[in-house]
Structure 1
């Protein structure tokens, strides 16, 4: 059972909730398969900033409402208003880039809970997350070549890091929709589960991560990001590792192990 939405942060098209160390960001436009408008991108950026600043939130789940789609990409019905001129295109791209960057560089783990369509901007969103878990009935695709859209380097680089250059080209060149099993083979998703098991699986993953030592989890996320760079910041990595060993949580972890009880990590 999810906690109620926080109306102070979300909007009617974007919801956010938090409880038990888990923050939820929910795309709530089910009548259009959670297609995303400019207003929704702006709200998403605000929600992520709130979760990043909240020490009680240790992991974030991103998902879509309605049961038929994660996110089906941009709201094409609003292209004339939101992307009808070069100036509007640039403003839209800048806003979406900020959200993708906020997701990709978010200091805490992010899980994408995918049910149904995950198309275009939805796939780009999922790629920015750390872990992607989808249902057997989910479908993925990037139809940019069918719409004449251009994709900037950061988004393509993230996809290539995830699935490799060959699958990235297949996704873009064909613009086809791929099944959940196709996505698993590509490495686009971590797990494929039966539709009725998605909620329980996500809750288990989120609760497990939220219960682990946050300094360790967050440091590993940062070090993995550095490992993908041609010139990693080794000083940063060393500092993060030393911080874990110098933390109260390291003491608590050892003590809990010896006392045969669950650890109570505080993130310090």
Structure 2
């Protein structure tokens, strides 16, 4: 078990043309701080290797694995390490504790976008647009890394899966969920209303009408419904989840290394022809706009309510405001 060690010699099993192409894609996308990251132990993102299988484990169970910005970088660094390790053929993404991933850490997001109160109770000056765009581009490229992983990624989903969590499930190759897992796009209730990072992928996955429904209503649905919608491949009892995922990983690992990376490269080219590469550019610009809304006096403003009522109470108020959707 390790935590995102520095990049190894890299993708030796790839045919030369694909190796050059995919390596260039990664180097162009990912921030240099990830490429040059030192080998350190990070208890919130764990990389575990077991023969041909790597497991990326979110390990912040007390927060239902809500991710902070730096932890997204760490998660991508762990993904890249597994990609460049020639012994690894397939990657499992999972979470420790009661949930897979409950989204972005709200307090971290508020601080990052300059929306928190100052110690004297005043509002800080918001970041300029170039800072906001740079931050959102960094986050968008993290999502893109999972869509474009050189090796198959399987999401193992249980408990809560919303925000960042459901985005990752929508973007990886395969997903298996506990039938009682709780999915939602509740993050849209902060005022995004369909402003997402990867709209092309969502429309291809759900169909245009259902994608809009999921974004505009933010309804919760379980693993069985997620399977019906096409979000996950299988929904199984929680007691069978890990066994099922490990079985799939083992079966995938029977393929030759060259076949796996060639097949994934062809899959990626098909997605690009459908607009699933350019979507991330639109996504980070859209997210920057979506986090700088003007709320009218008769509209629910999470930040204003949070200042008056506190975070926990405001989450309840937010969902009461959308109660007809639950």
TM-score, normalised on structure 2?
Answer: 0.65
Aligned to 1:25: 56
Q: CA deviation at 1:200?
A: 0.7
Secondary structure (helix, strand or coil) at the match of 1:90 reads helix
Measured in 1, the distance between the counterparts of 2:139 and 2:193 equals 13
Tell me which of the two structures has the higher relative contact order, counting C-alpha pairs closer than 8 angstroms and 6 or more residues apart. 2
Secondary structure (helix, strand or coil) at the match of 2:180 reads coil
Is 1:75 paired with 2:118? no
CA RMSD of aligned residues (A): 2.1
Q: CA deviation at 1:213?
A: 1.5
Is the 8 Å Cα contact of residues 180 and 224 (structure 2) preserved in structure 1? no
Secondary structure (helix, strand or coil) at the match of 1:137 reads coil
Measured in 2, the distance between the counterparts of 1:144 and 1:194 equals 26
Is the 8 Å Cα contact of residues 37 and 75 (structure 1) preserved in structure 2? yes
Give unpaired runs (5+ residues) of structure 1.
233-268
Aligned to 2:45: 14
Aligned to 1:171: 214
Measured in 1, the distance between the counterparts of 2:41 and 2:201 equals 27
Is the 8 Å Cα contact of residues 10 and 16 (structure 1) preserved in structure 2? no
Aligned to 1:263: none
Is 1:125 paired with 2:168? yes
Measured in 2, the distance between the counterparts of 1:222 and 1:209 equals 16
Is 1:188 paired with 2:188? no
Measured in 1, the distance between the counterparts of 2:77 and 2:233 equals 27
Measured in 1, the distance between the counterparts of 2:138 and 2:214 equals 24
Q: CA deviation at 1:123?
A: 0.5
Is the 8 Å Cα contact of residues 62 and 110 (structure 1) preserved in structure 2? yes
Secondary structure (helix, strand or coil) at the match of 2:248 reads helix
TM-score, normalised on structure 1?
Answer: 0.78
Measured in 1, the distance between the counterparts of 2:59 and 2:254 equals 28
Aligned to 1:101: 144
Q: Which moved more, 1:155-164 or 1:222-231?
A: 222-231
* Equivalences, count: 228
Measured in 1, the distance between the counterparts of 2:79 and 2:103 equals 19
Is the 8 Å Cα contact of residues 186 and 219 (structure 2) preserved in structure 1? yes
Secondary structure (helix, strand or coil) at the match of 1:70 reads coil
Is 1:137 paired with 2:180? yes
Is the 8 Å Cα contact of residues 193 and 216 (structure 2) preserved in structure 1? no
Give unpaired runs (5+ residues) of structure 2.
5-38, 115-125, 276-326
Q: CA deviation at 1:151?
A: 6.4
Is 1:46 paired with 2:77? yes
Is the 8 Å Cα contact of residues 9 and 16 (structure 1) preserved in structure 2? no
Measured in 2, the distance between the counterparts of 1:30 and 1:74 equals 14
Q: CA deviation at 1:231?
A: 7.6
Q: CA deviation at 1:229?
A: 4.2
Q: CA deviation at 1:150?
A: 7.0
